[in-house]
Structure 1
Amino acid sequence: MRLKATMRVKVGAAVVAALALTAAGLGVRGGDEEEPVGLAQVASTLGPGEGMLNLLTLPGVVESGRTDPRVDWVTPFQERTGCEVGLKVVKTPEEMAELMRDDDRRYDGVAAPPEVAGRLIAENRVAPVNPDLVDGYKKLEPKLRGLLRRDGKHYGIPYVWGVNLLMYDTRSVQAPGSWAALFDPDEARRYSGKLVMRDSPLAIAEAALYLKRERRKLKIRDPYSLTPKQLEAAGRVLAAQRPHVGQYWERPADAVSAFAGGRAVLGQGWPYQVDVLNRASRPVQGVIPSEGVTGWMDAWMIGARVQHPNCMYQWLQWTASPDVQQQVAEWTGVAPANPQACSGDRLKPGFCAAYHVGDRDYLDEIIFAHAPSKACGVEPKESDEKDCTDYAEWTRTWIQSTKMNT
């Protein structure tokens, strides 16, 4: 498999004339006279490509043969469509969000993780997507399709997804059934120095799941929608855990290395790490704790000031296709959004089983991440609570709890 190379760097008449131009739906214009707009409309028709496409991604999300000449789903796209792909790769989700907010820059599309996607929608930095213009859209997992639906509009095309498991070394740790194994102070102390955690503010959600059962008086419902009191409680859990954590991993390969070298025996992990370690004959398993499990989805989104909408829609169709999804899944080591990637001989049965591709009962158990916001919930209504905490507050809590304590 080609998973490791990517994961070493890593923790989608005018298409939318209205998208880049006016609400009147005129043809796509080109040249210097084109004026940027602040809020794009939904596309209604598909037209010829404009010859160019500017994309924004995290490392390893798009491969054009530069990392490995055998891995390239960009060149065939360019040859088929005439759309030359320009790729801007950023190191962090925060850098991605800042670039999408920069009025001096214009990206046609962005492969957004959940902590970025929700904020871009709220800030009108991305345009609604017309799924009828994306061949194969209805073949994508239904639950994933609904994650970026707001006010009846779709704001993203699912690309890949994963789940945050409780991972353990079977030689050293008895099969854990609860997040308490990681967050209860007495239990964490048993494996002090050999715990690993994702280095992400969204990892607060797992602490919230633990508190949801451990401290019912907090009345936590959605682990990604926390009131100030609930967030403070989760921060205290993480601060108490901090002395026992051997590593906060950013790159998935770092967690693999820690378990392979015996420096870790328990922690947060993805099916990717479990799969790689098992292939190396390491006795590591991943479980869904009794409190539940969180997950994430990366999706391709259209920039609100898109310059090449026709090429962007062709890219959406391309990356949702089974053959490209197969390549993406093998390279990134995460589950494809299109289960047809597992049909025929595209992906090995073992891969599809390990990542639960097409297993809708499994998907229904996952609490998928969304960007925390002041308005509680994913798509709040007028009657919903408005006293939750946003991603900036989560980031401060994460830093204070995991970086500033000894």
Structure 2
Amino acid sequence: MSIIAKRSATVLTYFLTIICLATSSWVYARETLRVLTWDGYADNEVVSAFEQRFDVAIELTLVTSDDDLWQKINSRSYDVFAVNTAELQRYIDQGLSRPIRMANIPNHAQQLQRFQDLQAIPGLVRQNDIYAVPYTYSEMGLIYNRKLVKTAPQSMSAMWDAAYRGRVLAFNTSNHSFSLVGLLMGVANPFRMTDPELEQATRELVRLRRNVLTFYATAEEATRLFAKYDIALIFGNYGTQQLKALREAGADIGYVIPREGALAWLDCWAITRNSQNPELAEKWINYTLEKAVSERLTQQHGLANTITASLNDSTQNKPIIWLEPILNPLARKTLWDRIISGEAPEAF
């Protein structure tokens, strides 16, 4: 064989090898499910078990606030995401979510009675289409440090008490913060405040800034800050999950549902409109409703689940205000960004 022929054969063999390798990689490439959720909703063990059972890969992204969730959904592609019933409405309105085929969610039949009739839960159904399936829930009460606060506070207004200047942890989110102040102000509907009410709430949040050490994003962050600083009060955005994390870290804390009531959320799984594999997304939702997976929420993360009734449900006989869609969320977000950026009170 000539040198040219040998070189040609070598080149041909090289390219055939590359093609075979590429083809082999393509044939055995696993499907990927892109999950957007909150801390604790899909921990490593839960993700790994799903990947092994269905021979797929999960690309997991965590969010730290409703504003963060909205920004991520609008900037990247995901398949399934966790969202509360109130926030879900704008995803439906903007065509960012798609109906779920409940025939593919047989584990829904195992959920507690209060979650059986999805039509009866505000925000889940639109024109007979089901857009989300309940997964976990909690009220957002007030956490207090027993070493610094000798008498259990009776109202969220304690966060504004001058005695706790620099010793309060508030949550970094626009929607809950304004609704919380609306409750304290006694407005007719804290989720749909008028412009004058929103202006007054803004001024109250600017006043609160004097007492706030920082605005936290995750339950873990709040736990670290509590251990490092003399924190007196925490707005418990993550409810029982936060209590568990703090107590396991050795914190001597109490927890109250204030007299004006506590905001409460119901988080659900929803599927994005641009999901590349909605059937796999439905398998994920059904999987998380397996008894062992859902109970892990409670056992490992202190979150209520929708399969097993809690013997210590802190919402029993307490004033709970379930989240509702808010009027003009963009206006709240714009004001909130100005508040936490440190703009002078006179600017408002």
Which one of 139, 144, 168 corresponds to residue 163 of structure 1? 139
Contact 1:94 1:116 (C-alpha < 8 Å) held by counterparts: no
Which one of 49, 58, 61 corresponds to residue 86 of structure 1? 58
Distance 2:250 2:167 in 1: 20
Which residue identity does 2:330 align to in structure 1? A
Paired residues in the alignment total 305
Q: In the superposition, relative to structure 1, how do residues 141 and 372 fare at CA in structure 2: closer, same or farther (>3 Å)?
A: farther
Contact 2:154 2:259 (C-alpha < 8 Å) held by counterparts: yes
The alignment's C-alpha RMSD in Å is 2.8
Contact 1:169 1:259 (C-alpha < 8 Å) held by counterparts: no
Gaps in structure 1 of 5+ consecutive residues: 1-50, 66-71, 213-219, 341-351, 374-389
* Residues 1:204 and 2:175 are matched in the alignment: no
Distance 1:255 1:353 in 2: 26
Residue of structure 2 equivalent to 1:47: none
Which one of 204, 217, 224 corresponds to residue 250 of structure 1? 217
Note the alpha carbon deviations across 1:274-296, whole angstroms, 9 max, x for none: 33333455331110011110122
Contact 2:36 2:78 (C-alpha < 8 Å) held by counterparts: no
* Residues 1:271 and 2:271 are matched in the alignment: no
Which one of 176, 195, 198 corresponds to residue 228 of structure 1? 195
1:311 CA displacement: 1.8
* Residues 1:403 and 2:318 are matched in the alignment: no
* Residues 1:181 and 2:158 are matched in the alignment: yes
1:321 CA displacement: 1.3
Contact 2:139 2:315 (C-alpha < 8 Å) held by counterparts: no
Distance 1:360 1:154 in 2: 26
Distance 2:140 2:179 in 1: 10
Residue of structure 2 equivalent to 1:124: 95
Gaps in structure 2 of 5+ consecutive residues: 1-29
Higher gyration radius (CA): 2
Note the alpha carbon deviations across 1:72-103, whole angstroms, 9 max, x for none: 12333233334x1331415554454344345x
* Residues 1:172 and 2:142 are matched in the alignment: no
Distance 1:96 1:259 in 2: 25
Note the alpha carbon deviations across 1:365-391, whole angstroms, 9 max, x for none: 432324423xxxxxxxxxxxxxxxx11
Residue of structure 1 equivalent to 2:123: 148
SS for the counterpart of 2:276 is coil
Distance 2:188 2:113 in 1: 23
Contact 2:166 2:210 (C-alpha < 8 Å) held by counterparts: yes
Residue of structure 2 equivalent to 1:31: none
Which residue identity does 1:246 align to in structure 2? L
Percent of aligned positions with the same letter in both sequences?
Answer: 20
Distance 1:112 1:95 in 2: 11
1:153 CA displacement: 3.3
1:262 CA displacement: 4.8
Q: In the superposition, relative to structure 1, how do residues 126 and 232 fare at CA in structure 2: closer, same or farther (>3 Å)?
A: same
Note the alpha carbon deviations across 1:325-382, whole angstroms, 9 max, x for none: 1223344442223226xxxxxxxxxxx545x2xx7746x8432324423xxxxxxxxx
The equivalences for 1:302-381 within 5 A come to: 302-339=271-308, 352-353=310-311, 356=313, 361=316, 365-373=319-327
Contact 1:112 1:301 (C-alpha < 8 Å) held by counterparts: yes
Residue of structure 2 equivalent to 1:191: 164
Which residue identity does 1:170 align to in structure 2? R
Which one of 319, 329, 340 corresponds to residue 391 of structure 1? 329
The equivalences for 1:47-58 within 5 A come to: 52-58=31-37
Which residue identity does 1:211 align to in structure 2? M
Contact 1:53 1:312 (C-alpha < 8 Å) held by counterparts: no
Q: In the superposition, relative to structure 1, how do residues 403 and 99 fare at CA in structure 2: closer, same or farther (>3 Å)?
A: closer
SS for the counterpart of 1:297 is strand
Residue of structure 2 equivalent to 1:60: 39
Note the alpha carbon deviations across 1:5-47, whole angstroms, 9 max, x for none: xxxxxxxxxxxxxxxxxxxxxxxxxxxxxxxxxxxxxxxxxxx
